[in-house]
Copies of this chain bind each other. A is one copy, B any other.
Amino acid sequence: MSGLGFAKTPKPPYYAVIFSSQRNGKGEADYAAAAERMFELVVQQPGYLGVESARDTNGFGITVAYFDSEENILRWRNHAEHAATRARGKREWYEHFEVRVAKVERAYYGP
List chain A positions with a Cβ less than 8 A from chain B: 2-7, 9, 12, 16, 18, 20, 22, 52-58, 60-62, 64, 70, 90-91, 94, 96-111
Contacts and interface: CB of A to CB of B under 8 A. Distances in A.
Main secondary structure of the interface of A (DSSP, over half): strand
A20 B64 contact: yes
Given A104-B102, A107-B101, A110-B90, A54 B56 contact: yes
Contacts of A107: 98-101
A54 B60 contact: yes
A72 to B, nearest CB: 15
B60 A98 contact: no
A104 to B, nearest CB: 4
